[in-house]
Structure 1
């Protein structure tokens, strides 16, 4: 069953004379019966860190094995899958040679037997893991392609430049959800990978939590019905796209991912979609200022499937006016997500200042984050912030840095800083 897409545009289309910046929130929704819409030709790869550090404590590797087995058990019959083990090199766990096998009772059992034999030794080179995953997925272009990447450490056996080259090579080939277990890995490192590959990043503080997390990620991947959906944006002559960012469910800058599709038309990747899903995007376009009373189509937005079919459309408008009551009105949707983006930046800047010993900057930025979380009703982020700072007045952002903060609390706040609260519309 094909999915149906709809695009809603939320903006204040009225601009004062001389203004040239148009902002809009684009809500893209997919609909369809999830069970019947799920793609039968999906592919799933699990990448398990088997470096030496996974031996300590011994429960870590055991939990990773159980989690991988849980992911394998969650696969639908007919889905193609593989398991990769990662050290300073990458090796097939199942099947024996690079490629995918169809999920059946027999192949699931064989995969779990292979996983049970895993041992931990060696270093860490995540780029090599991703390159092998690309080989495994090669030739599977008809359905959603999803990978889970688990690590407990840092990418010590590759330079950042080497990882960048790999990410450039594999971008667009598959999506990756990254998980860090424990507290010895780097949030920024896994965020680079997940953002490049249109996935998520999160912390699993205790190994015992891995199995349920792997099961949930795999179940979500199994619901995907359409792969490689792009957001197609047309803008008028003389206009410039300042940015296009996913604003919900998480922050993701797509501006530099643009692929030219036609004159003044570009495609931005959004990845795979399920039959019950909605995402928000923040578009900012710079246009040529016009005279009072003039109207302009500042942008036309559509969703394009892998076959090139346009799946849904919306329009972004601009109207110039000398009525200040109209032009100074702020779209609540635009204001909300602008604040959510500022909240994420304030958290990350505050944590970085705290690490470097800059107490004044850390207090100011994390205090600003507390205020923004309070104003937007982002209670989840507010609770995480309260573990890093003592909140004296959330309304004003008055805080004091805590003398002692557990690594897991700091990393959880950092990891989840880009997860946004949706604007106050129940969708």
Structure 2
């Protein structure tokens, strides 16, 4: 049988607050180890995967785009382990089940993989784009496998032209919590905000594939990560004391994701925040709680964090967030390095996105200020990858102070890559990467 990973919950904070202070901040590191297949495919957790391929008319320009998408889909199919349920969906202004026919999903084996790849080979580019319809069909397929780790891989090359933002939002509301969806945009004619909305809502990832040739490796990697998941629908459960208010709960590593408004009440003074599926991995969360101040010298349990599987009420790991009031300024004014680091990472992402928006709007002064601040923050935090992406959009005169000049001509690929990866964070140096 499959085994659930072991979860370790560690809390990093400065628990000392000055007299009268109310705000408690903590970085919660959750590390899952072990679990999974115990060395055999038959022992692996049940999984179901839908691969969604954009086959709208624009996928024919250039022709290598569709041929690369087919090769990438085949690579993902080959990566699925034996017995995993899967299906392939073709997306235009409607959604069509390419394999299997008729509806449903089939288990991966030598025969079904070969049949699926043959069906993928028949795909042709035509029609428009209605991503909500694609997600709706994926949801219908995956709904038949409620006990499986449910995952979708979505590729598009264009904007969602054949349905309104409201229609897409309605579909996202309907399918939220049903499956995880990783999104990829190929080329530069799609909208970053659109795919980010889908990925954030469905607890997946989003990235740009500038050239069709990069699709195959990326699809294979996404499928491998999906196969590495061992437990679905894990939630971060936060208990707070009477009178306390949760200001926010955010994932801050490996990528920024605000979970605050995704809370569902689980018990008095307790709420669950969805974190999706887990394999052997580590993630960081920033929790901010406002409490009623106590007397100097008092110690309070400001919050209790548990990683749980809500349906089974299975507790996987626990940690405590504390508050101690003191008159010692040396204690109360010290900012925890992890909290400071991720606060800066959130500001970095915001500065990049606001700077790029200002640049598009022709507001040179604001764009320069925001992107300059982003350069300074990336330099300060050692986020070298982001610094390199910023250097393709601005000319950097002084990276420490963030003195920059906007480039007159910027490649659309560079601009979209910076925007797409602005929410990817760098783990604070307190511990090695997992």
State TM-score, norm by structure 1. 0.98
Query: C-alpha displacement at 1:35, in angstroms?
Result: 4.7
Between 134-143 and 343-352, the greater mean CA deviation after superposition: 134-143
Contact 2:238 2:270 in 1 (8 A): yes
Among 138, 142, 147, the residue aligned to 2:152: 147
RMSD of the alignment, in Å?
1.0
Among 12, 15, 24, the residue aligned to 2:14: 12
Contact 2:6 2:35 in 1 (8 A): no
SS in 1 for 2:230: strand
Among 119, 136, 139, the residue aligned to 1:134: 139
Written as runs of structure 1 = structure 2, the 5 A alignment for 1:53-64 is 53-64=58-69
Between 299-308 and 332-341, the greater mean CA deviation after superposition: 299-308
SS in 1 for 2:271: strand
Q: For residue 249 of structure 2, what is the aligned residue in structure 1?
A: 244
CA distance in 2, matches of 1:309, 1:183: 44
Cα-to-partner distance string for 1:166-206 (whole Å, 9 max, x where unaligned)? 10000000001100000000000000000000001100000
SS in 2 for 1:6: strand
Q: For residue 167 of structure 2, what is the aligned residue in structure 1?
A: 162
Q: For residue 299 of structure 1, what is the aligned residue in structure 2?
A: 303
Q: Does 1:105 align with 2:110?
A: yes
SS in 2 for 1:224: coil
CA distance in 1, matches of 2:266, 2:209: 40
Change (3 A) 1:33 1:41: closer
Contact 2:4 2:36 in 1 (8 A): no
- Give the gaps of 5 or more residues in structure 1: none
Among 404, 409, 414, the residue aligned to 2:414: 409
Query: C-alpha displacement at 1:3, in angstroms?
Result: 1.2
Contact 2:37 2:45 in 1 (8 A): no
Among 274, 281, 285, the residue aligned to 2:285: 281
Among 19, 34, 49, the residue aligned to 1:44: 49
Contact 2:69 2:216 in 1 (8 A): yes
Q: For residue 205 of structure 2, what is the aligned residue in structure 1?
A: 200
Q: For residue 336 of structure 2, what is the aligned residue in structure 1?
A: 331
SS in 2 for 1:120: coil
Among 74, 81, 85, the residue aligned to 2:90: 85
Contact 1:144 1:272 in 2 (8 A): yes
CA distance in 2, matches of 1:58, 1:139: 35
Q: For residue 235 of structure 1, what is the aligned residue in structure 2?
A: 240
SS in 2 for 1:36: coil
SS in 1 for 2:359: helix
Query: C-alpha displacement at 1:295, in angstroms?
Result: 1.0
SS in 1 for 2:374: helix
Query: C-alpha displacement at 1:34, in angstroms?
Result: 5.2
Contact 1:40 1:79 in 2 (8 A): no
Query: C-alpha displacement at 1:36, in angstroms?
Result: 2.2
Q: For residue 387 of structure 2, what is the aligned residue in structure 1?
A: 382
SS in 2 for 1:24: strand
Query: C-alpha displacement at 1:49, in angstroms?
Result: 0.3
CA distance in 2, matches of 1:33, 1:128: 35
Cα-to-partner distance string for 1:40-90 (whole Å, 9 max, x where unaligned)? 311111000011111111111111000000000000001110000000100
- Give the gaps of 5 or more residues in structure 2: none
Q: Does 1:395 align with 2:409?
A: no
Query: C-alpha displacement at 1:100, in angstroms?
Result: 1.3
State TM-score, norm by structure 2. 0.97
Cα-to-partner distance string for 1:112-151 (whole Å, 9 max, x where unaligned)? 0000000111110000000000001012121211111000
Change (3 A) 1:311 1:40: closer
CA distance in 2, matches of 1:382, 1:34: 37
Query: C-alpha displacement at 1:216, in angstroms?
Result: 0.3
Contact 1:228 1:269 in 2 (8 A): yes
Query: C-alpha displacement at 1:98, in angstroms?
Result: 3.1
SS in 2 for 1:139: coil
Query: C-alpha displacement at 1:39, in angstroms?
Result: 3.6
Contact 1:98 1:135 in 2 (8 A): no
Contact 2:45 2:149 in 1 (8 A): no
Among 24, 28, 33, the residue aligned to 1:31: 33
Task: Provide the aligned length of Structure 1 versus Structure 2.
Answer: 426
